[in-house]
């Protein structure tokens, strides 16, 4: 776990991750603002659950959490069950949000809204997400024949895997990283790699096995 200051810095410094993830789902039937708000909930959850002692960067941990929250909207059909008390809170959040937008000409950030409402960023983001309009997966009155695409595993989902892999490679020693680069990025043989690094082919083979085992343990 991290301190409250570090947590806030992680959230504010990684909003770009939310935009990146939300952009993957544009044009699938849900407004971008709603995707972004759900992603912010994921970012906050990631900040709350992040354990830096595991050796991975925050972004590596956060991306799948953010994607999970965004996909939840599609699985739930855009509906969120809320209590009467929460509805009151939602109305207050939306009222303050509208007022702040009128005053500044820009929509306030979750942090700014939270500060004005004296709420935590997590609760503010959850209230905004709960305020999203209900949406049918099978169409609506204006477009009865229209169906929404529910996100499934797609190439962009591999973003979290790539981030984890890059983070793992960055954690290697210089020689280890060079061996992986030559063998798996440049596609060189063990013999050619050994020649470049002034080692024997047997040494490269042994080192490569150890490196791959080390990476596998990190990724798991």
CB atoms within 10 A of CB 123: 15
Are residues 42 and 66 in contact, defined by beta-carbon separation less than 8 angstroms?
yes
The reported pTM is 0.40
Domain with CATH 1.10.10 in the chain: 172-219
Angle between helices 32-49 and 4-13 in degrees, nearest 10:
150
Buried b (16+ CB within 10 A) or exposed e, 85-111: eeeebbeebeebbeebeeeeeeebebb
CATH 1.20.120 positions along the chain are 4-156
CB 160 within 8 A of CB 61: no
Residue with tokens 């024949």: 145
Those residues with Cβ within 8 angstroms of residue 30's Cβ, 6 or more apart along the chain or in another chain: 73, 74, 78, 135, 148
Amino acid 134: pLDDT: 42
CATH code of 4-156, in short, is: 1.20.120
pLDDT one-digit tens code per residue, 187-202: 888 889 999 999 999 9
First to last CA, the chain: 20
CATH number of 172-219: 1.10.10
DSSP labels for 109-143? Answer: PHHHHHHHHT--HHHHHHHHHHTSPP--SS--SS-
Tens-digit pLDDT profile for the chain (220 aa)?
455 557 777 787 888 888 888 888 887 777 788 888 888 888 888 888 887 777 777 888 888 888 888 888 877 655 444 456 667 777 888 888 888 888 877 777 777 888 888 877 767 776 776 665 444 434 444 444 444 444 444 444 455 566 667 777 888 889 998 998 888 778 888 889 999 999 999 999 899 889 888 888 776 6
Instruction: Write out the H or E segment, with its range, that includes residue 32.
Output: helix 32-49
* pLDDT for res 144: 46
**Residue in this structure with the two tokens 């309009």, named with its chain if needed:** 133
């Amino acid at each position: 776990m991290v301190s409250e200051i570090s947590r806030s810095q992680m959230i504010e410094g990684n909003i770009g991750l939310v935009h990146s993830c939300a952009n993957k789902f544009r044009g699938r039937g849900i407004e971008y603002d709603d995707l972004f708000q759900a992603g912010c909930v994921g970012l906050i959850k990631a900040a709350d659950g992040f354990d830096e002692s595991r050796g991975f960067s925050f972004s590596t941990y956060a991306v799948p959490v953010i994607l999970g929250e965004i996909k939840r909207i599609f699985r739930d059909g855009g509906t969120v069950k809320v209590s009467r008390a929460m509805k009151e809170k939602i109305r207050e959040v939306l009222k303050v949000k509208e007022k702040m937008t009128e005053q500044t000409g820009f929509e306030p950030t979750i942090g700014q809204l939270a500060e004005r409402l004296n709420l935590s960023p997590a609760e503010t983001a959850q209230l905004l997400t709960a305020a999203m309009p209900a949406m049918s997966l099978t169409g609506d009155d204006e477009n009865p024949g229209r169906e929404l695409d529910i996100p499934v595993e797609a190439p962009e989902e591999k973003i979290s895997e790539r981030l984890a892999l890059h983070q793992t490679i960055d954690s290697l020693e210089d020689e280890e990283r060079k061996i992986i680069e030559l063998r798996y990025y440049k596609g060189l043989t063990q013999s050619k790699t050994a020649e470049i690094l002034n080692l024997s082919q047997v040494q490269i083979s042994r080192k490569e096995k150890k490196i791959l085992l080390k990476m596998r343990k990190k990724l798991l």
